[in-house]
Structure 1
């Protein structure tokens, strides 16, 4: 059962009583709030997501005005499956050192190149011996991972590990769905409650320019992109739809464990909601997923 947007909560106690369901595997890193799963299904989704995002930004892996040289070091925070680093390895000299860090090792590549290294850790506390090491730090879509009080810490840590004159590039979601679609509007309200319950910063894309400046970064730039989502936009739109609807499917366990926040009262109801929202995106031609790319420089 899914409640209509105009009807409010199902019951007052559904907000706190866990809803029985078949859970997927999730990270168990101490203190982490990340709300997406860590399994083979998610690994496949991350590969699709990489294609969708790269298509949106014209296949650019490096956004700032820099060209990596022999001996440079690159860090990918929240690397997931490492697909961004794997693609980058094909475009840079073989003696550029590539590092990936993530709280969940199950998604790491099963094999890695000689110049590629993956480690378990959190971007809120990068290794102390990494200070002034990297020419470029990449991080994307940690909207569902970092709390409001962690974002300043993360940006400070990234700045610390960059060499003077080095660059950070971030990519975050800003908006998704259609404001004309009942299911999309209701879903946004559900996610606002989920994120608030974990102190996650759902509007991080709006706050990041200020946060970057507060952290002491210079030359802060922002690029915004609208990704058409739904079958109305052809194959590209279908891939964008599939990726992001599957993001929301991956949030099923934290939503249902919290009792559904008054919007849903069963696993079947949640799955049906996702199917119906996918159909809504297919027929509403203003449906997009909006992303923001940020890049900024550490002072020389």
Structure 2
């Protein structure tokens, strides 16, 4: 299975960075920041997605029992693990990993732990350890080869019969300003080698890694005040995502779309207004579930 990632235009190969007030980022590859503002947005995002999926955090048909272990990759602030601990009735060990520890929770239950690690290279001693592995929204972090390695690593660390759940975003739509901005985001992801439409390829990558019983649940999240509180929360979260991409976009010279920080901010203001005024503005979201075959080693 081949994933095509278009190379950036030579016009933008050596851009001049645009001066701006920058936030703290984990690496040049990852296009979202790692700071207290991002922690707050991640918590809003968690509430939004929990509401979108009827308060369910685990959609995979996994039956956890006492003594099982749960892993979350790309845990960020750990908000999913902290909330999932309230829904899981079995006595399980829970562990979260991320390449950046800055956002790890300051306090957590005694059966929960966190460590710095990459989903593309999990500890060798974790083979066949976890009954359930969760990963959410690494679309802004993983390049094409990373996705294949990550899914392979998650398969390796699962116990035979264990389940993985991958939560990822899809396309979004509203009006012409949104379409213009979406093209900008696409250009940024191409320049970074990231796969914006990763949700299209996840089922095939899961199958290629050896997973079985692959399924997906899809939802549309409304964007804008026209859809009440849920739409307002959706807009607040995703406009926060796009505003957080300011530094990588401006460091790349605006990618031919904006010429200054003020122009970037104005564009996002217009996108937000368009969402509020466009009934039907929405973004797709997907939750993939897959099982490691019981006979897998």
TM range (shorter): over 0.9
User: How many equivalent residue pairs?
Assistant: 284
CA distance in 1 between partners of 2:250 and 2:173 (Å) = 21
Aligned-partner SS, 1:104: coil
Aligned-partner SS, 1:46: helix
Q: Once superposed, which parts of structure 1, at least 4 consecutive aligned residues long, lie more than 6 Å away?
A: none
Give the deviation of 1:13 after TM superposition. Answer: 6.9
Q: Please, which runs of 5 or more residues in structure 1 have no aligned partner?
A: 1-11
Is structure 2 residue 201 aligned with structure 1 residue 207? yes
Contact 1:15 1:262 in 2 (8 A): no
CA distance in 1 between partners of 2:86 and 2:214 (Å) = 28
Give the deviation of 1:226 after TM superposition. Answer: 0.4
Give CA-to-partner distance per residue, 1:175-207, whole Å, 9 cap, x none.
Answer: 1232xx111101111111111111101110011
Q: Please, which runs of 5 or more residues in structure 2 have no aligned partner?
A: 1-10
Give CA-to-partner distance per residue, 1:16-62, whole Å, 9 cap, x none.
Answer: 1100001001114xxx7211001110000000000111111111111
1:61 pairs, out of 48, 57, 63, with 57
Q: 1:143 to 1:13 in 2, by over 3 A?
A: closer
CA distance in 2 between partners of 1:183 and 1:106 (Å) = 34
1:143 pairs, out of 117, 139, 146, with 139
CA distance in 1 between partners of 2:51 and 2:16 (Å) = 41
CA distance in 2 between partners of 1:293 and 1:95 (Å) = 25
Alignment of 1:80-159 (within 5 A): 80-93=76-89, 95-159=91-155
1:186 pairs, out of 146, 156, 180, with 180
Question: Please, what TM-score do these two structures have when normalized by structure 2?
Answer: 0.93
Question: Please, what TM-score do these two structures have when normalized by structure 1?
Answer: 0.92
Q: 1:131 to 1:231 in 2, by over 3 A?
A: same
CA distance in 2 between partners of 1:37 and 1:129 (Å) = 31
CA distance in 2 between partners of 1:284 and 1:48 (Å) = 22
Which residue is equivalent to 1:19? Answer: 18
Give the deviation of 1:95 after TM superposition. Answer: 3.0
Relative to structure 2, which stretch is displaced further, 272-281 or 94-103?
Answer: 94-103
